[in-house]
Each structure stands twice: as C-alpha cells, then as structure tokens.
C-alpha cells in the first residue's frame, strides 16, 4: 500500500457518498451524464491516479488506481473512470499529452481491428469497434492500433470525427459502436507505444473489471446484511434463522475471496507477474457474481427486484462487467492451457506461491 492510499480511499468514499446517489445513477441510466460527480473527482486529481507527476499525473501506482476503482464499483458510479485511467496510462507510455475530461478507449474487444496508415503529411486511422464504453459522452477517444508493418501506434481522436451508434449493457451503461472513417491525424498526435502491447492493455482492462466487481460485491454484502437484520418474520429478524445464516456465510466467503483475489492480481501484476493471477481473479469474481447475486436476491425476496431498492444497481453491473475483458470461461481456458504446458512441479508452485 502506498502512502497516499488511505487518504485516497477516504476522499473517494466521501465524494461517492455525496455525488453518487441512487437518483444520480437512475438518471445516468436514462442518459444524463453525472457531470458534478466527474468534476468532483477531476478537481481532486482522482482521474489521474497512477500517472507520474512529471508527465501531468498526480502520482500513485497501479494498486492506488485499483483501490479507487473498487470504491467506484461499490457505489455503482456511472462514469468512465476505469476507461479514463487506462487511456491516460496508455498516453503516458507513449509520451503524448494527457487529456482533460472523461475518455474512452479503442479497441474495446479482442476482435476489434484498428489500423494506422501514413499519408503524405499526416496519418490516417480507420476501423470499427464494438461495445465501446461511454463513447457518446466523451470528447476524445484514445486509439491503439497497428500499421501495415506491424508497428503499434497510439493516438487520440475527437468523437466529432467518429460515427457512433448508441448501445448499452444490462446495467444501462453506454456501450456504443464506433466507426473510424479514415480519420486524418497530425503527426504530433501520433506516437509509438514503446513497450506497451495489446496484451498489456487487455490484462490491465481485466484488472479494472476485477476491481469494480470486487467493490460491487462488497456493496451487495452490506445491503444484504442490513436487510437481514431489519426484515422480521415471525417476530424476529430473518438473519436469525439458521437457513439464512448459512446463506449469508456463503455470500460473505465469496465476497472476501474475491477481494483477496483482486488485490493479489494487482500486486502480482505490478511486480512483473504474468496473467495467471489475473485469470484466477477474473474467474473468482465471475463465479462469485453468480453465487452472490443469487443469494442476495433470495434473502431480499421481492424487495430486491424493485426499482426503489438499490440492490439491482450492483447486481446488473456485476452481470455486465463479468463478460468484459474476457469472461471467466475464457480466462479459465487460458489458465488451463498454461497448466497443461507446465510440469507437475510447476503447477504446484503456480497454485501455492
């Protein structure tokens, strides 16, 4: 944990409590971007966490950024914070200027194809991307793609130059289709990605989703415990019944395991680890999302399905985020392939170290 992390967590929690209310989330799902929430985070430097100060960030490391996203997930914040942090990190790797305001990022899926082409006095970028978070709500999108020679390039484009078809996920968050119709870009907005590769971006994207999901799981645990203490049947709180206690124990276990797995994946990746820890974390939070939401809705009964109760804000986000940057099935297939390639001694150390 860095020196700034306790202060970061405390400040971010206060901002989320003040600006990320149930009404704000509901309006965001109807298409109203929460500008006050975003400006509060930007004024306190939260949107540049994890970026070195000498290139325009506010310092901190990957663990700090992921702790912030865990809080964002816990409050179901309807803003592109994960995308902005990731986009700014890519700009910093390429030594391009950091951009103000919320950002999105291309490609958003493994099969999105983005290509750069050199013209006489500029560059042109073209391609199509699906399921792009908040494309309609940002002014700029950071673009990562390849030239015909295989060189990886980073740049950014104005959304005014893109063709955007609006879509959304189950949680009502914007997930748009973006077309880049051979957009011309000045040379000073183009830079090689240096050591950053597409796999790195995918892995970091998966880390953002494990952090968001770990936060959402924490919120569901708190909501469910509170309801189990307040709701009474036959003259006593339902949390006093043995069957409910057993379910709450399973729920708490899944939430705790998910938080530990998410933190361990961030720590291992920051220390130069491979994507095995990310795979394990994404599998854990994905499986926990199913178990936890099932139990939480059973405990809440019909109340958990109403618009008035905030439980659905977290459950719908979990069901949406679990497939982004690879579902648990895709990560399990990758992890299984790596296990089969190793000797039995290496498998043991992979599981226990």
Query: Each residue of 292-325: pLDDT tens digit?
Result: 999 999 999 877 778 889 999 999 999 999 999 9
> At CA 97, angle to CA 163 and CA 141, rounded to 5?
15
Is the CATH number 3.30.450.20 carried by domain 1-79?
Answer: no
- Rounded CA-CA distance 215/259 in Å is 8
Q: Is the pLDDT of residue 135 over 70?
A: yes
221: Cβ contacts below 8 Å, ≥ 6 apart: 251, 252, 255, 292
Same fold, 1-79 and 198-352: no
Contact 229, 237 (CB under 8 A): yes
Whether 196 has a pLDDT exceeding 90, the answer reads no
pLDDT of 262 above 70: yes
Q: In which residue are the tokens 């309801």 written?
A: 227
CA distance 216 to 255: 9
Segment 185-191 shows an average pLDDT of 95
DSSP 176: E
Q: Does domain 97-196 have CATH number 3.40.50.2300?
A: no
Average pLDDT, the chain: 93
Q: What architecture is the 198-352 domain classified under in CATH?
A: Up-down Bundle (1.20)
Residue 343 clears pLDDT 70, i.e. is over it: no
Q: Residues 227-231: what's their mean pLDDT? A: 96
Helical segments of 94-143, H only: none
- In sign, the C-alpha dihedral spanning 261, 267, 273, 274 is positive
Question: How do the domains of the chain map onto residue ranges?
Answer: 1-79, 97-196, 198-352
Is the Cα dihedral 151, 153, 159, 160 positive or negative? Answer: negative
């Amino acid at each position: 944990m860095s020196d700034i992390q306790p202060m970061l967590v405390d400040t971010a929690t206060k901002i989320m409590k003040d600006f990320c209310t149930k009404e704000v989330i509901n309006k965001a799902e109807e298409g109203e971007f929460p500008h006050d929430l975003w400006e509060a985070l930007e004024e306190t430097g939260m949107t540049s966490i994890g970026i070195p100060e000498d290139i325009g960030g506010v310092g901190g490391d990957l663990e700090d950024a992921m702790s912030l996203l865990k809080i964002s997930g816990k409050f179901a914040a309807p803003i592109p914070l994960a995308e902005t942090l990731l986009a700014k990190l890519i700009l910093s790797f390429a030594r391009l200027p950091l951009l103000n305001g919320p950002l999105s990022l291309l490609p958003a899926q493994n099969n999105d194809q983005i290509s750069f082409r050199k013209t006489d006095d500029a560059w042109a970028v073209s391609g199509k991307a699906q399921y792009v978070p908040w494309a309609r709500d940002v002014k700029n999108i950071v673009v990562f793609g390849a030239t015909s020679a295989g060189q990886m390039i980073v740049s950014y484009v104005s959304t005014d130059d893109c063709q955007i078809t609006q879509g959304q996920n189950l949680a009502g968050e914007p997930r748009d289709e973006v077309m880049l119709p051979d957009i011309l870009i000045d040379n000073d907005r183009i830079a090689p990605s240096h050591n950053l590769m597409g796999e790195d971006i995918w892995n970091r994207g998966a880390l953002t989703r494990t952090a968001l999901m770990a936060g959402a799981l924490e919120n569901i645990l708190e909501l469910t415990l509170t309801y189990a203490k307040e709701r009474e049947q036959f003259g006593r709180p339902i949390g006093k019944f043995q069957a409910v206690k057993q379910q709450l124990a399973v729920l708490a276990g899944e939430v705790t395991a998910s938080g530990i797995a998410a933190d361990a994946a961030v720590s291992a990746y920051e220390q130069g680890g491979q994507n095995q820890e990310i795979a394990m974390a994404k599998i854990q939070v994905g499986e926990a999302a199913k178990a936890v939401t099932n139990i939480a809705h059973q405990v809440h009964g019909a109340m958990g399905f109403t618009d008035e109760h905030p439980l659905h804000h977290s459950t719908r986000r979990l069901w949406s985020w679990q497939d982004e940057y690879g579902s648990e099935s895709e990560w399990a297939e990758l992890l299984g392939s790596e296990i089969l390639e190793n000797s039995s001694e290496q498998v043991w150390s992979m599981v226990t170290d």
